[in-house]
């Protein structure tokens, strides 16, 4: 790493000299490295917190509600969110190039053990950490590198640049290093395949929301480029900072994503080489990846018995890519807050609540909710409703144009699988009551974790978003609104209370 920092320093010195007043370039002067372009050299999170002094609205607390609801307050929940993020950060500190709360790995086991102890501390009944076997294999990147190779034709003292934000795309394999010229092919969705054969293709995408919205076109363009003979595809995800973006899997060959600053550097270098008739920029790609079999992941369950034996499941996925603050440490934090709240006898629920921290959301073959259904047949017979807590309290970021961090939260797409009029009106009333941000139209699509619960044939609901930090290394604690955590917790407490008291026909008409 020191080598790259040294490069940054020497470039800065050279360019400072270039820019000084009265400087005339003489024969024999040093030409700046990399055509005078400045590489990023490190991963860099963009700003994800509203500007200092910006006013964040306090949570709405209707008269008479504050008392006894300490468990639902933002700072209390944020403590849990920080602890959950810590398990991912530990994996990074241990020197893993890829990190997160990864199902099948120690970081998720630690998260599950922590949740189990939280549930026990709260006094939930029947607390269990349930380990289940993967039903498929799991691709895992151990180490990798995307290196732009030096050529003195690009300027004196040009040295190799390692693109720090590069991250391989799921299922990529590079048994022996790939070294080839890199060519810019335009925007994903409309790439040119002319002349890509034998080369590494660099395509561009600029998400207006997050990686989720770019998924189909990036994957299809990648597959097209590989089919046209490209030896690898690099996708430049143009966003603020220089983030890892882990998405766009199954690209048809070896693929990497790079972040904003690295994309600017690489595309500018390609352009400059062309303009100055210098040799093409070449990259060297390495990847040590393995396909793991026989992994095990964990779910954690615990009950709060109600006056009725009928069950409402409250689920949050434990696993993440990177820190996963908004995906899904905030959901897990609210899960614990709700467990604390309903465990107080004054808040004893009408229906029984089954709290679930689930594994395998991000890992193929390790679907947590499906395993909850398979491993708990007696409990499952009693379930009337499933509520999934996911992506609850991230600040609203406008990625295009610019990068604006707002004081409110990302609006959630709210889905209710059976379009129950009672649930729709309850959700709308609760959103207004607590200022919980949802989009006006409530849909019946419930993608993600709720799929595993589909065999129960009961109402399933969630409010979820996929903003600019989706599956990026910038999804950090700083992006979470403490006030937003409280809005989410109060919203869901209200919905759970109302659904607890509703008739079975109102929930599942
Ligand atoms: Zn998620």
Ligand 1 centre distance from Cα of residue 391 (Å):
6
Ligand 1 centre distance from Cα of residue 408 (Å):
20
Ligand 1 centre distance from Cα of residue 167 (Å):
19
Spatial separation of the C-alpha atoms in residues 368 and 112, rounded to whole Å: 12
Ligand 1 centre distance from Cα of residue 146 (Å):
28
CB atoms within 10 A of CB 405: 20
CB atoms within 10 A of CB 2: 6
| Residue 440: Cβ-neighbour burial (10 angstroms; 0-12, 13-18, 19+) | exposed
Ligand 1 centre distance from Cα of residue 22 (Å):
56
Spatial separation of the C-alpha atoms in residues 73 and 490, rounded to whole Å: 8
Extents of the domains making up the chain:
70-137+294-507, 140-290
Task: Identify the bridge partners of residue 289 per DSSP, sorted by sequence position.
Answer: 141
pTM of the predicted model as reported, rounded to 2 decimal places: 0.93
Instruction: For the chain, 509 residues long, give each residue's pLDDT as a single digit of tens.
Output: 333 333 333 333 333 333 333 445 566 678 899 999 999 989 999 999 999 999 999 999 998 887 656 899 999 999 999 999 999 999 999 999 999 999 999 999 999 999 999 999 999 999 999 999 999 999 999 999 999 999 999 999 999 999 999 999 999 999 999 999 999 999 999 999 999 999 999 999 999 888 988 999 999 999 999 999 999 999 999 999 999 999 999 899 999 999 999 999 999 999 999 999 999 999 999 999 999 999 999 999 999 999 999 999 999 999 999 999 999 999 999 999 999 999 999 999 999 999 999 998 888 889 999 999 999 999 999 999 999 999 999 999 999 888 999 999 999 999 999 999 999 999 999 999 999 999 999 999 999 999 999 999 999 999 999 999 999 999 999 999 999 999 999 999 999 999 999 999 999 99
Spatial separation of the C-alpha atoms in residues 41 and 54, rounded to whole Å: 31
Ligand 1 centre distance from Cα of residue 461 (Å):
14
- Give the residue from 362, 89, 82, 62 showing the smallest Cα distance to 211: 362
Tell me the three state secondary structure of residue 288. Answer: strand
Separation in Å, CA 287 to CA 146, 167, 362, 488, 495: 9, 10, 21, 40, 47
CATH assignment of 140-290?
3.50.30.30
Ligand 1 centre distance from Cα of residue 159 (Å):
40
Spatial separation of the C-alpha atoms in residues 301 and 422, rounded to whole Å: 27
Ligand 1 centre distance from Cα of residue 325 (Å):
10
Ligand 1 centre distance from Cα of residue 216 (Å):
18
Ligand 1 centre distance from Cα of residue 328 (Å):
5
Ligand 1 centre distance from Cα of residue 381 (Å):
26
Ligand 1 centre distance from Cα of residue 202 (Å):
28
* CA 188 to the chain's CA centroid: 21
Do the bridges between strand 125-133 and strand 296-304 make them parallel or antiparallel, or are there none, so unpaired? Answer: antiparallel
Please say whether the structural domain 70-137+294-507 has been given the CATH code 3.90.1150.10.
no
- Give the residue from 184, 165, 122 showing the smallest Cα distance to 357: 122
- Give the residue from 290, 320, 30, 312 showing the smallest Cα distance to 141: 290
């Amino acid at each position: 790493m020191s080598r790259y920092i040294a490069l940054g320093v020497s470039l800065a010195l050279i360019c400072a000299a270039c820019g000084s007043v009265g400087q005339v370039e003489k024969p024999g002067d040093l030409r700046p490295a990399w055509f005078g372009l400045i590489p990023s050299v490190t991963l860099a999170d963009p700003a994800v917190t509203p500007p200092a002094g910006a006013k964040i609205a306090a949570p709405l607390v209707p008269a008479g509600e504050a008392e006894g609801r300490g468990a639902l307050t933002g700072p209390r929940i944020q403590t849990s969110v920080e602890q959950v993020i810590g398990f991912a950060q530990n994996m990074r500190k241990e020197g893993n190039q890829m990190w997160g709360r990864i199902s099948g790995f120690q970081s998720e086991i630690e998260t599950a053990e922590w949740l189990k102890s939280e549930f026990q501390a709260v006094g939930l009944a029947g607390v269990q950490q349930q380990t289940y076997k993967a039903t498929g294999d799991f691709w895992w990147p151990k180490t990798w590198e995307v290196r732009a190779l030096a050529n003195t034709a690009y300027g004196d003292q040009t040295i190799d640049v390692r693109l720090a934000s590069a991250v391989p795309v799921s299922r990529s394999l590079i048994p022996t290093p790939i070294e080839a010229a890199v060519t810019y092919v335009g925007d994903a969705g409309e790439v040119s395949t002319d002349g890509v054969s034998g080369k590494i293709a660099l395509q561009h995408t600029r998400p207006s929301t997050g990686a989720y919205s770019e998924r189909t076109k990036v994957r299809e363009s990648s597959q097209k480029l590989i089919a046209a003979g490209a030896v690898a595809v690099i996708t430049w995800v143009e966003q603020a900072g220089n983030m890892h973006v882990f998405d766009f899997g199954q690209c048809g060959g070896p693929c990497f994503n790079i972040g904003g600053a690295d994309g600017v550097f690489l595309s500018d270098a390609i352009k400059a080489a062309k303009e100055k008739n210098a040799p093409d920029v070449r990259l060297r790609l390495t990847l040590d990846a393995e396909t793991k079999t026989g992994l095990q992941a964990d779910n954690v369950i615990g009950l709060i018995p109600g006056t009725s034996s009928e069950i409402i499941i409250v689920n949050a996925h434990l696993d993440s890519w990177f820190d996963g603050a908004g995906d899904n440490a905030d959901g897990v934090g609210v899960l614990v807050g709700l467990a604390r709240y309903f465990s107080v006898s004054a808040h004893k629920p009408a229906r029984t609540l089954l709290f679930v921290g689930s594994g395998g959301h991000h890992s193929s073959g390790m679907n947590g909710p499906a395993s909850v259904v398979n491993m708990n047949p007696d409990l499952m017979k009693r379930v009337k409703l499933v509520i999934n807590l996911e992506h609850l309290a991230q600040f609203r970021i406008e990625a295009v144009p610019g990068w604006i961090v707002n004081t409110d939260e990302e609006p959630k797409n709210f889905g209710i699988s059976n379009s129950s009029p009672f649930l729709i009106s309850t959700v709308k009333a609760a959103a207004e009551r607590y200022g919980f941000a949802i989009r006006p139209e409530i849909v019946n699509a419930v993608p993600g974790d709720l799929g595993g619960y589909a065999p129960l044939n009961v109402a399933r609901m969630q409010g979820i978003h996929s903003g600019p930090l989706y599956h990026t290394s910038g999804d950090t604690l700083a992006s979470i609104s403490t006030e937003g955590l409280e809005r989410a917790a109060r919203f869901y407490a209200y919905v759970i209370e109302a659904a607890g008291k509703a008739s079975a026909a109102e929930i599942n008409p």
